[in-house]
Amino acid sequence: MTTETFRTLKLTRDQEKKLYESWREFEAETPPYARFQLRPENCVITCYESGKTVFQGKDAMVYAAAFENAPVRTAESPSASGDILPQAGSDEVGTGDYFGPVCVCAAIVSEADMDLIRELGVRDSKKLTDQQIREIAPKLMQQLKYSLLIVGNSTYNRVHESSNLNAIKAKLHNQAYVNLMKKAPLPPFKVVDQFTPERSYYSYLKNEKQIVRGIHFETKAEDHYPAVGAASLIARYAFIRSMEQMSEAWDMEFVKGAGAAVDRCGIEFVRKYGYEKLGEVAKLHFKNTEKIKAAL
Ligand code: MG
């Protein structure tokens, strides 16, 4: 079922640059009359001196889609692209909390969802109370296409032995998009709330089976892109629920963040259950672990 497809686009110089930067690791020998050629998986992209860019191969449409209606961002309108719909966005929660999992969500928001988004006042989940999140998130989860990954502490600690935090985040965001793609076609416009430079993001993914490319990276994206705002909210809801379940399971309250109250909570936990159980509820590489050990 090989379908060879073509897509020819006339890109701006900025878009050509972005295209090149996105996939430069797949650069091939430059053919005649071309500025450059890239050969990512299932696609050959040739940018010609004429100004035309040809996407060719099984996934031509997928790669070209990122540039079909991708906005050209200018310094004057840094987030004019916030209203590009449909859009997909992703964010992660829990990476700054000693206790509890890391939750990553990717969600799609289309024009038809915007009434609900406005009605619920979706914005950065960090500015909402837990109670507001408990009310809003289930409504979003009912309406939106989303995918959610929850990485428990035991798994997290095992993975962290061989990967740094940004590598873990990159793999989780990518996996969230891969999973989301199974539920609905991914819109051309995809935003990751940026935590690492674009090039590092893709280099962390170089051994992944499937890589979702053509992503726009922006810091504080949850404030400007409804899909990132929604993803952030769903991820925070999952985090809150996980913390509640942990409290039930271990019969004690776990404190969020990584401050002194967290150390005290950790000491209480270890006195009750032993140090060897700490890795089931906490991210052991945090400095809190040393403080907890020292206090015992
Ligand atoms: Mg974020």
pLDDT digits (tens, 9 = 90+) for 33-54: 789 999 998 889 989 887 788 8
Q: 237 alpha carbon to ligand 1 midpoint, in Å?
A: 14
Contact between residue 110 and residue 85 where contact means Cβ atoms under 8 Å apart: yes
Instruction: Calculate how far, in angstroms, residue 183's C-alpha sits from the geometric centre of ligand 1.
Output: 23
Tokens of 34: 């071309």
Cα 50 to ligand 1 centroid, rounded to whole Å: 40
User: In terms of Cα–Cα distance, which of 85, 58, 76, 72 is closest to 13?
Assistant: 72
Torsion 265-271-277-279 (CA) sign: positive
Of the ranges 16-25, 32-41, 133-142, the best mean pLDDT one: 133-142
> What are 177-203's pLDDT values in tens digits?
999 999 999 988 899 999 999 999 999
Cα 197 to ligand 1 centre (Å): 14
pLDDT value of position 104: 98
- The one-letter code for the residue type at 86 is P
Tell me how far the alpha carbon of residue 147 lies from the centroid of ligand 1, in angstroms. Answer: 16
pLDDT of residue 69: 62
Ligand 1 mean position, distance from CA 117 (Å)? 19
Ligand 1 centroid from CA 90, angstroms: 8
pLDDT tops 90 at residue 265: yes
Q: How far is the CA of 127 from the centre of ligand 1 (A)?
A: 13
How many Å lie between the centroid of ligand 1 and the Cα of residue 91? Answer: 5
Share of the chain above pLDDT 70, in %: 93
**Distance, C-alpha 149 to centroid of its chain:** 10
Q: What's the pLDDT at 231? A: 97
Q: Is the pLDDT of residue 269 over 90?
A: yes
pLDDT at 254 exceeding the cut of 60? yes
What mean pLDDT value characterizes the chain? 89
| pLDDT tens-digit map of 114-123 | 999 989 988 7
Distance 109 CA to ligand 1 centre (A): 18
Which whole number is the average pLDDT over 214-230? 91
pLDDT in the model for residue 124 = 63
Ion ligand 1 — residues with CB < 5 Å: 91, 193
The model's confidence at residue 20, banded by pLDDT at 50, 70 and 90, is: very high
How far CA 130 is from CA of 6, 23, 91, 244, in Å, comes to 48, 40, 17, 12
Report the separation in Å between the CA atom of 231 and the middle of ligand 1, taken as the mean of its atom positions: 10
* Cα(93) to centroid(ligand 1), Å: 7
The confidence score (pLDDT) of residue 30 equals 87
Provide mean pLDDT across the span 59-67.
83
Q: What average pLDDT does range 79-83 have in this prediction?
A: 56
**Distance, CA 195 to ligand 1 centroid (Å)?**
7
The structure's pTM equals: 0.73
Phi, psi of 41 (to 5 degrees): -55, 130
Confidence tier at 58 by pLDDT (50, 70, 90): confident
pLDDT, residue 74, reads: 39
* Mean pLDDT along residues 286-295: 96
Residue 148 has pLDDT above 50, yes or no: yes
According to the model, what pLDDT value does residue 3 have? 52
Q: What is the pLDDT of residue 97?
A: 97
Q: How far apart are CA 262 and CA 256, in angstroms?
A: 7
